[in-house]
Amino acid sequence: MSLATIETRHPVTVALAFAIETGLLTPDREQSLRQELQDMVVEAAEKFVGFQNVESVRRALDITLGILSLAVASSTEGRTEPQNWATLITTNGMKAIVGNVIADIKTASDVTSFAEIVPIPEEVPQDAARRMLLELATIRDAQRGGIWIGYEELQQRLAVKENRRITTELCLWLIRELVRQPLAGWIKMNEEEVGDRKMRLPHADKVISNLLFRHCAGLPVKGVCVLKGAHFKAVNEAFKQDRAGWKDAARERYEKLRGEIPEELRSALMYMGRDWYDRFLAKGPPGTPRSDRDLLDPCGRYAQYHTEVFLR
C-alpha cells in the first residue's frame, strides 16, 4: 500500500497521490518520506497517545497526517492545489514543512476568553498550544461526510485572535482620544481587587459599548466605567421628550466619532455582522434597570448592564 492511500481526505495524502501519479515521487524519495512519516508517528505517539495498542498507533498516524495537512493547506492559504502541495513535500520533505504552522498555532492559542485592556497571560494554559495542535490535527466535520477541517478551524482561531487584538486597540484609542485620560489613571479608577492581589478591569468590548453609549447619549465619558440606573433614567426621559430628535443627535455623534476612528480599528464596531449603532441604538436607548443593585461593581454580573443588554 502506498502512503497516498492511507487517508485520501487529508491534504497531505492528496499531495502524495498526485506526486506518485505524475512521477514527481520516485521510489527512493517515497522510501525516504515513508521513513520520515514513521519517525513522526513515533513522536506523535510519545507526545499525545503513548504506545498502548494498535489503535493508539493508528491515532498517532491520524494526528501526524493532520499536522502535515495543516502545513500543506497553509502553504496555499487553503486552496486545493495538489501540484503545489506535492512539490512542497517532495522538495522539502515532511518534518521541514511543519515549522510555520506550529508558529501559527502558538499564536492562535495565546488568547484569553475575552479582549482585555491589558494582557493577562496567566489566563492562557501553558499547554494551550499542544492541546490546540491535537484538536486541529484530528478535527472533522460530521455534517460534511467526516472530512478533515483543521485548516479552516485554524483560520477561525487566528481570526478570533486578530479580532480581540483590534478590539483592545479600539478600546485604548477611545480612552485616549474620547475620554482623553492617561491609561494608567483610567485603569486605577476602574480596576478592582479580586482574590489574592489580582486586579481586574471590564473587558475591552464592554468598555467600548459603555463609552459609545455615553457619547451617543450625551453623557459624560470620564469617570468610572459603570452606568447606574440614574444614567438610564435620564437618557430615557430625554428620549421620550423627543424620540426623533434624540435618535438624530445620537446618530450624528456616532457617525462623527466613527469617522475619526482609524479605519483599521472599525471592524471592532461590528456585532453579529451589524454596525454597533444599528444594532444597539437605532431604535432608541435600552430601558432603565429596576434597581441600582449590583450595578456598582465593574466586574459583577450586572456590572455592564448597559452592554449585557446590548450583547444578548
Mean predicted confidence (pLDDT) in 92-112: 89
More confident residue, 176 or 230: 176
Place 294 in a pLDDT band, splitting at 50, 70 and 90.
very low
> Which letter does DSSP use for residue 288 in this model?
P
pLDDT of residue 122: 56
* pLDDT tens column, 115-152: 888 876 555 667 889 999 999 999 998 888 888 999 99
pLDDT of residue 144: 83
* pLDDT tens column, 30-49: 899 999 999 999 999 988 98
Mean predicted confidence (pLDDT) in 263-283: 91
Percent of the chain residues past pLDDT 90, beyond the cut:
56
Mean predicted confidence (pLDDT) in 196-210: 77
* Strand (E) or helix (H) holding 199: strand 198-200
* pLDDT tens column, 51-76: 777 888 899 999 999 999 999 999 99
Mean predicted confidence (pLDDT) in 22-34: 90
Query: Which is nearest to 76 in space by CA: 4, 163, 3, 15?
Result: 15
- Local structure of 147: helix, strand or coil: strand
Cell triple for 30: 517515497
Mean pLDDT (the chain, rounded): 84
* Strand (E) or helix (H) holding 308: helix 305-311
